[in-house]
Amino acid sequence: MVQILTPEEVEGKYSRMFCKSFLTLVDEENGIAQIVERCSSQGPAEWDVVNRRRTGGVIDCIRMSSDMIVMDTVIGERELNFGPVSEDVGGQGIKSLKVEGDEVRTTWYGIAGASVGIGACIPQCRDVIRTEYPDDFKMGGAFRANVDIITPKMVRVIVGVDDTDTKEKGASWVTSMKLGLECPIGRFIEHKIVQLNPKAPNKTTNCCSTAVSFAVREEEVPKLIEYVVDFVKGETFSDDTVVTVFQGLRIPDALREFGWSCKSVLYKPEDAIRVAEENGVQIISVTGMGGVIGAVAAIGCFDLGEKAAGIPEDFE
């Protein structure tokens, strides 16, 4: 018989533990998902990253980004490989990730101390809906445990912003940071400052655009966009402010290449508009269209890591 516990019930049973955030984002069109987890301390997070990478399963890529563990996965099921060292060092991994209506079910396995993470730590995070335990569940020691963790199905929305400032006042990266921190819809995930071509003739100072990403329920995406536009309109000092919106976990190659080339090439607005139309980017004129190149490029560069913040010469 399966035992079903809410986060509050898990905490009552095992005492308060350490998972601060646990979000599951899906991109069903591409058959992929992303799990974004925040832990209370870097050490356990690093241990989780190494052990989950070792076991494989549905995880294609796992990394630490700031205080987050980011796991890129497939939607589906794969066998786990704990390896010959599992009895000595433990292990932890995800065997399957399945979309069930408006929920996501992840099936986790853990050995030894790692079983506490999947049995008591993640399940009591308030982002979790419920956790299902098999009737023979035991954790800690030398036990091998498995659970199903059920969370809300969410999608990733990236919002690009450019040209909110003038030479006298304002900064687009500040506007987008405030947007991320104050937005009441969905969950703020990441903020990026994107360095563009410093030789652009119409720049204010540094020629940077900016972008933020959110995890949001799909039905709330229109509400999020409406909030974003109203927020930016109230914060901008410019008559050329543009917001761009992209939904999904995989940025198209052409969009990424455009974003990267904006660091060295001087484009025209119509070039950015064409790239946006061909790659699923919504362009919204907030007060004008002068910021369209930077706002589109901000989405193209969003998943480039440190490269988003630099120019090509920085990485030669």
294 sits in which H/E element: helix 292-300
Please report the pLDDT score of residue 1 as a whole number.
Answer: 82
Identify which has the larger pLDDT, 314 or 131. Answer: 131
> Tens of pLDDT along 299-315?
999 999 999 999 888 88
Q: Pairing state of beta strands 32-39 and 68-74?
A: antiparallel
Residue % of the chain over a pLDDT of 70? 94
Q: Are 218 and 153 in contact (CB under 8 A)?
A: yes
> Taking the mean position of all CA atoms in its chain, how far away is CA 41?
19
Please report the pLDDT score of residue 85 as a whole number.
Answer: 47
> Tens of pLDDT along 59-78?
999 999 878 999 999 999 99
Please report the pLDDT score of residue 166 as a whole number.
Answer: 67
**N- to C-terminal Cα separation, the chain:** 59
Domains observed in the chain: 3-152 (no CATH), 155-315 (3.30.70.2200)
Predicted confidence (pLDDT) at residue 206 exceeds the cutoff of 90: no
Q: Specify which of 18-32, 75-89, 131-145 reaches the highest per-range mean pLDDT.
A: 18-32
Please report the pLDDT score of residue 67 as a whole number.
Answer: 80
Identify which has the larger pLDDT, 8 or 143. Answer: 8
Please report the pLDDT score of residue 203 as a whole number.
Answer: 59
Q: Which residue has the tokens 């090439």?
A: 265
Contacts of 41 (CB under 8 A, 6+ apart): 18
Task: State pTM to two decimals.
Answer: 0.94
Predicted confidence (pLDDT) at residue 170 exceeds the cutoff of 80: no
